[in-house]
Chain A
Amino acid sequence: DQQVKQNSPSLSVQEGRISILNCDYTNSMFDYFLWYKKYPAEGPTFLISISSIKDKNEDGRFTVFLNKSAKHLSLHIVPSQPGDSAVYFCAASARGNQFYFGTGTSLTVIP
C-alpha cells in the first residue's frame, strides 16, 4: 500500500507563474518530509525538506508547506523557470530510517 501519494502525474505551468505540486501521506508517524527533483538519466537531487515541528520552510524560489492534520505536503515554486522542468518526488520518513517516496509529478514549464 502506497504510504506517500502524488495524485497528479503531470503539471504544466507558464514561465514566471507559480507551480504547486501536491503530496499526501497516510502514516501519522512520519516526521520528516523531503522534495526531490529528477532529470532523465540522473539520480534524484534534494531540493528542500521540512520536519513535522514546522509547517513551512523556504529556500529561495522553493517553499514547502506541511499540513499535519490533513496529512498533506505541497511544494511551491515561484517564479517557475524552464529549467525547473523535471519529475518531482515527495518523500517521507519516520525517525530517518525507511524513506517512502511518491510516484512523482512531471512538471513542464512552458517558456
Chain B
Amino acid sequence: EAQVTQNPRYLITVTGKKLTVTCSQNMNHEYMSWYRQDPGLGLRQIYYSMNVEVTDKGDVPEGYKVSRKEKRNFPLILESPSPNQTSLYFCASSLGQPSPLHFGNGTRLTVT
C-alpha cells in the first residue's frame, strides 16, 4: 500500500531533550516536507526537500533540523525542544513539480 509513515504517533518529552520524528514513504517520491498544525494557524511548512541531499527552509524552520540522505526517508530533528514546539506534526511527499502532497497520519508532540 502506498503510504507515508511517521513515527511515533504520540510523544511526550521534556524541554531540551533531543528527539527525532521519522518519516518514510514508499512511493519513490522526489519531494518531501514537514508541517506543523496549530489551532487557528492551519498547516505551516517547516522544511522541504526537492530531492536527496537538497533541503530548504519553509515558513517556520527555527528550532528544527532535517536531513535527506535517502529518497524514502526525511527525519525531523528537534535538537533542544521547547514548549512552543508542542504541536501536531505532519510529513508529506509528492512526485513534485507540481503534484498533490500525500500526508502521513501525524505525530502529536508535547514538550513540558
Contact = CB atoms under 8 A, between A and B. Distances in A.
B19 interface: no
B41 A44 contact: no
25 contacts: A31-B98, A42-B105, A42-B106, A43-B4, A43-B90, A43-B105, A44-B43, A44-B103, A46-B102, A49-B100, A89-B43, A91-B101, A95-B98, A96-B31, A96-B94, A96-B96, A96-B97, A97-B48, A97-B56, A98-B45, A98-B58, A99-B101, A102-B42, A103-B40, A103-B42
Interface of A: 2, 4, 6, 31-32, 34, 36, 41-46, 49, 51, 89, 91, 93, 95-104
Interface of B: 4, 31, 33, 35, 40-45, 48, 50, 56, 58-59, 90, 92, 94, 96-106
A101 B44 CA distance: 7
A46 B105 contact: no
B35 to A, nearest CB: 8
Contacts of B100: 34, 46, 49
Contacts of B56: 97
B39 to A, nearest CB: 9
A42 B90 CA distance: 10
Contacts of A45: 103
Nearest to B33: A99
Nearest to B99: A96
